[in-house]
Amino acid sequence: MSTLDVYVKLTRVGRNVVLAICDVELLGRTLRQDKMVFQIRDEFYNGGKTTVEEAVAMINNSNIVNMVGCKCVDMAIQKGYVHPEAVLNIEGVPHAQILKL
């Protein structure tokens, strides 16, 4: 049985479906690297908790995906949604985005 590993939030913006996923332990953190400041804000990511498997499966029905954290990014790589070289590490935390045009 899987645990509720990630927060997910689905938002419709015009004709786009935006999916935000973050590992539970990252919610509320601010990552800093060089001049980059990346806020993992409750308003953006917290639409509820789910398993990492369920969250990554939601990528199929989303146009824009923003994910941060080892669990969700690693699973997205395993499932072939994200190329490992497309992952940005901010303060050692993996971050990936998917845009389906």
End-to-end Cα separation, the chain, in angstroms: 35
6-99: CATH topology:
3.30.1860
> Is the CB of residue 59 less than 8 Å from the CB of residue 14?
no
Residue ranges per structural domain of the chain: 6-99
Q: pTM for the whole thing?
A: 0.94
> Is the CB of residue 65 less than 8 Å from the CB of residue 21?
yes
Is a pLDDT exceeding 60 seen at residue 9?
yes
What whole-number distance in Å separates Cα of residue 25 and Cα of residue 29? 9
What does the pLDDT look like over 42-80, one tens digit per residue? Answer: 999 999 999 999 999 999 999 999 999 999 999 999 999
